[in-house]
Each structure stands twice: as structure tokens, then as C-alpha cells.
């Protein structure tokens, strides 16, 4: 987890029957042919059992309203006459069931076919009518998996309102903190990063471990976390709340927004977090933070507070971020965990807190609505598309440096990347950029702000003080697209 000192903090803003069974529906019951061989039967309240293949002990009279309660190869006939006796004992009367098996087989086969068709239609309808993702089998289609997660992340963008319109969202009923913990807790995982450090005393490579948190966003194993949680890792593993541990693949990571996407291949059902809409969050709302503060020892800890502020702008490690502020406790190890609203929906990805003896209860989370487009690009391309790049590394020329070296204030080129628009335009190490698109620039941030107003492939007009000649010149730089190294 990133922590930083107060001084570095900047705050700008049908069931099947047996084979030889009869239907109990009157119109489908037919008296077996064997019945017609005997005449003179009388109605009787007694039940006689007949087994296929047996002989009838004595003639019986005609049947009225026969009832078949057959199982296996036997059926019963209800008569008004007691069963005949033979030497004082009741005889088990039987008749042969001619053609019954063939008739029943046809009925059963037709029933099976109908059930199969109805079942298939139900399955297809269910899949088309729901967005729920099932646990994948080992033959899971990776491309379909990617389409599913991209669909989840893109849901909000379909409902964007026109400028000036107030967005309303039906949230449902509020949940208790206990209910929130039960709903979202199993979707928060522990992440362990193995980082290679300096050579050990015995000459081999030495490794260090870092821990953080993550959020399961699909049933087939996509997980979001912070970039700094897995930065520099040679291996990453994910631990579920069940205790299961899986190797994870880094799908994409972005240091500028401090976001990353991992993928595991689970062999068990995963609990998936429901993503909310951070754009409708209000100051004072209840907020619940779930994560693993101080490592796996405190796995799945839940803390509660409120949303203290929204749209805060902070700078950490020279990166400017727009975040949600909360007083819910966010500590080291919580990074990448979930900030959840009163409806059990994830509204933020826990990222950072202020570390100072004079500050308490100031934690920050990346708004989920701002994270979604970044996560979409990371999953689809492995990096964030559409970011323009000049092709240089640079530093600010301060007022002191300018006076001492007799330079103009601006942005000094420290390195030029081979094959970039900067190299083609003739920029060299030591050159100082003083204007961009006609506007004066004195810091890297000012230059980047102007540059970011362009798209890759467009040209950026620069005024440059040439280090070698001491003269100023104008150059046009064709912007490239920023990609991970």
C-alpha cells in the first residue's frame, strides 16, 4: 500500500414412470387384451394382484371401472368380489399383458424427447435473459470470458445522461453492515506479490513479499487491485476467503491511475462483487471498507465510516489522482480492497491514506466509475489506449537553475526515445521546451496538460531552446501512443 508523509500530500480537489407403467389419466388407460378373455366379472371392493405370465385359478366376471396401480410387471384390478380361494388360500390371479411394453416404450420415448426439447429451450432462454456468470469449466472460452467482463464494466456507459441532467439510480433497500460484510466479504481476496531484490548472501537471488487486497469482478476469475500492490512482482498469487490459493496472471497494469487487473483459473464457485456507480455518491453516506490490513493475518477485516468528500485531487509519488475521501479505516494491506456503499455495491477501490501523527481518519479510494474505462482497456489491450506521448523524459528548469546556467525556464529534455516523434522532430538531450501550442510552459505538468488535450497521431507545436546553439526554434512533434515497456 502507498503511504506518504503529510509534507508530500497535495490536496487540490416431469418425472418419468417405470417402463411398464400406465398413465393415471382415465382417457389414456386401456384395459389389456387379457381382460377380454374372461367374462362375467362382477364389481367388488376387493383388490386383486395379477403378475405377468401367471395362470388364472378360476374364471372371473366382467370388470367395472378397473384401476391400474402397476409397478414393475404387475397391475391390480378392483372388483366387487373377493379373490377366489384355493384350498383355503387366496390365489394371486394374473393375466398376460399383451403389447403393453411396446406401448409404454413409445410413450416414455416421446416424453424424454419432449423433456429434452423443453429443457434446452429453458436453458437458452435463461442464458439470454441473465448476465450472471457461472463458474467456468476447463474448456472455458477465454474470448467469451473477456466479452463478459467487458460487458459488466461497460454497463454504466450505456446509461450516461446528457450534459446538465441529474443522474438517478435505483439502489434498492439499504443493508446492515453485517449484511454488507456477508455479501461483499467473500469477493475480497488477498494478493501476495513475490519481488526479486538484491542478491542474497549466498549469491543467489533474494525475494521479498508484499501483500494487498483485490476484488473479484467476474465468476471466471477477473480481479481488480492497485498497481502498486503488484508493481515489480515476478510472481503473484491470490488467496480466497475459503483459504484456496491460486497463481495469478497480470492482464494489465497502469501506474498513472494505480490500477491493475489479474486473472485466476478457479476450480470452485467464486463470489462476485456488485459494482456500483460512484458518480451518484453523496457526502455523508455510509461507507464500509473491506480488505486485509497489515497482511493476511487480518484477512477480510471490515471497517465502517462515511464518505467525507468526493472529487478530491491528491498527488502521490508524482501522480495526480481524483479520489473519494472516507474516514473508514484504510491501512497498509487494504490497498486494492473494496469501499462499499449502504446497498452492498462497490463504489471505490481502496488506495491510500495519509500517514501523519497529526492526521487521523483520512483514507482515499479510486472511484469505481472512473476506474471502469481504465479496467476495460487493461483487459482488452493490456494498457490504456489513447494516451499521447512526445517520446522524452524530462525535468523542470527551476528559477535557480535558469539564473545559474543562464537558461530560460521551461521543461528540459533529459532523454529522447528512439523512433519517436521527438527524435524525428530533432529534439536532443539538454534542449528546453518553453512553449507548447503557443502557451508558455514552465513545468512538466503544464506541458503534459497541453499534450493530453491531443490524440495519438496529432501534432504538437513546440518552441525549443536548443542546448547546443543557445537559439530558439519551432518544431512540430507527431505524438505517439503511450504503451507499457
How are the residues of the chain apportioned to helix, strand and coil, as percentages rounded to the nearest 5?
Answer: 25, 35, 45
| Cβ proximity of 336 and 350 under 8 Å | yes
| Cβ proximity of 248 and 235 under 8 Å | no
335 catalytically annotated = yes
- Rounded Cα gap, residues 215 and 184, in angstroms: 9
445 catalytically annotated = no
Of 260, 255, 253, 244, which Cα lies nearest the Cα of 189? 244
Q: C-alpha cell of 333? A: 494491506
Distance of CA 344 to the CA centre of its chain: 15
* Catalytic residue of the set 220, 227, 228, 277: 228
The conformation of residue 57, written as its DSSP 8-state character, comes to S
Q: Which H or E run contains 198?
A: strand 188-199
Q: C-alpha cell of 6? A: 503529510
Continuous H helices in 130-212 = 142-153, 177-184
228 catalytically annotated = yes
Reported as half-sphere exposure (CB side, CA atoms, 13 A), residue 460 has a value of 32
Of 11, 131, 21, 38, which Cα lies nearest the Cα of 76? 21
* Catalytic residue of the set 44, 181, 335, 394: 335
Q: CB neighbours of 82 closer than 8 A, spacing ≥ 6?
A: 44, 46
Give SS3 for 470.
coil
Give SS3 for 215.
strand
For residue 120, give Cα distances in angstroms to 115, 116, 382: 8, 6, 37
The total number of residues shown for the chain amounts to: 485
| Cβ proximity of 396 and 442 under 8 Å | yes
* Catalytic residue of the set 258, 277, 377, 431: 258
For residue 452, give Cα distances in angstroms to 30, 397, 447, 481: 84, 21, 9, 11
For residue 367, give Cα distances in angstroms to 166, 176, 189, 381, 425: 18, 22, 19, 22, 39
Q: C-alpha cell of 317? A: 509519488
| Cβ proximity of 194 and 234 under 8 Å | yes
| Enzyme catalytic residues | 228, 258, 335
Amino acid at each position: 500500500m502507498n503511504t506518504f508523509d503529510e509534507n508530500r500530500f497535495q490536496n487540490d480537489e416431469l418425472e418419468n414412470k417405470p417402463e411398464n407403467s400406465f398413465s393415471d389419466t382415465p382417457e389414456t388407460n386401456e384395459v389389456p387384451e387379457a381382460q377380454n378373455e374372461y367374462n362375467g366379472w362382477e364389481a367388488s371392493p376387493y383388490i386383486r394382484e395379477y403378475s405377468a405370465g401367471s395362470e388364472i385359478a378360476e374364471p372371473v366376471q366382467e370388470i367395472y371401472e378397473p384401476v391400474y396401480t402397476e409397478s414393475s410387471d404387475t397391475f391390480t384390478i378392483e372388483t366387487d368380489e373377493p379373490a377366489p380361494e384355493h384350498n383355503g388360500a387366496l390365489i394371486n390371479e394374473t393375466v398376460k399383458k399383451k403389447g403393453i411394453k411396446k406401448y409404454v416404450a413409445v410413450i416414455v420415448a416421446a416424453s424424454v424427447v419432449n423433456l429434452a426439447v423443453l429443457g434446452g429451450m429453458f436453458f437458452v432462454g435463461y442464458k439470454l435473459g441473465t448476465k450472471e456468470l457461472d463458474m467456468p469449466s476447463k474448456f472455458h472460452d477465454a474470448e467469451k470470458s473477456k466479452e463478459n467482463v467487458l460487458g459488466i464494466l461497460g454497463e454504466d456507459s450505456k446509461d450516461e445522461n446528457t450534459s446538465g441532467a441529474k443522474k438517478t439510480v435505483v439502489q434498492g433497500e439499504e443493508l446492515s453492515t453485517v449484511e454488507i460484510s456477508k455479501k461483499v466479504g467473500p469477493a475480497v481476496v488477498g494478493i501476495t506479490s513475490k519481488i526479486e531484490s538484491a542478491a542474497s548472501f549466498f549469491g543467489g537471488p533474494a525475494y521479498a513479499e508484499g501483500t494487498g487486497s483485490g476484488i473479484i469482478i467476474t465468476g471466471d476469475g477477473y480481479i481488480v487491485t492497485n498497481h502498486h500492490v503488484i508493481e515489480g512482482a515476478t510472481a503473484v498469487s491470490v488467496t480466497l476467503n475459503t483459504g484456496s490459493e491460486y497463481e495469478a496472471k497480470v492482464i494489465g497494469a497502469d501506474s498513472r491511475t494505480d490500477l491493475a487487473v489479474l486473472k485466476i483459473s478457479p476450480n470452485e464457485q467464486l463470489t462476485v462483487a456488485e459494482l456500483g456507480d460512484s458518480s451518484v455518491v453523496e457526502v455523508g453516506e455510509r461507507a464500509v471498507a473491506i480488505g486485509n490490513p497489515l497482511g493476511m493475518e487480518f484477512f477480510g477485516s471490515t471497517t465502517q465510516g462515511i464518505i467525507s468528500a468526493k472529487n478530491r485531487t491528491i498527488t502521490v509519488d508524482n501522480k495526480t489522482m481524483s479520489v473519494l475521501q472516507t474516514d473508514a479505516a484504510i491501512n497498509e494491506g487494504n490497498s486494492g480492497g473494496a469501499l462499499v456503499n449502504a446497498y452492498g455495491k462497490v463504489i471505490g477501490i481502496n488506495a491510500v491514506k495519509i500517514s501523519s501523527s497529526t492526521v487521523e481518519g483520512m483514507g482515499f479510494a479510486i472511484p469505481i466509475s472512473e476506474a471502469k474505462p481504465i479496467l476495460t482497456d487493461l483487459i482488452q489491450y493490456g494498457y490504456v489506449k489513447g494516451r499521447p506521448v512526445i517520446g522524452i523524459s524530462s525535468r523542470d528548469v527551476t528559477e535557480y537553475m535558469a539564473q545559474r546556467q543562464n537558461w530560460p525556464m521551461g521543461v528540459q529534455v533529459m532523454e529522447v526515445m528512439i523512433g519517436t516523434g521527438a527524435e524525428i522532430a530533432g529534439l536532443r538531450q539538454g534542449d528546453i521546451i518553453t512553449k507548447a501550442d503557443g502557451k508558455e510552459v514552465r513545468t512538466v505538468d503544464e506541458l503534459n496538460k497541453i499534450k493530453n488535450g491531443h490524440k495519438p497521431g496529432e501534432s504538437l507545436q513546440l518552441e525549443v531552446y536548443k542546448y547546443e546553439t543557445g537559439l530558439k526554434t519551432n518544431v512540430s512533434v507527431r505524438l505517439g501512443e503511450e504503451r507499457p515497456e
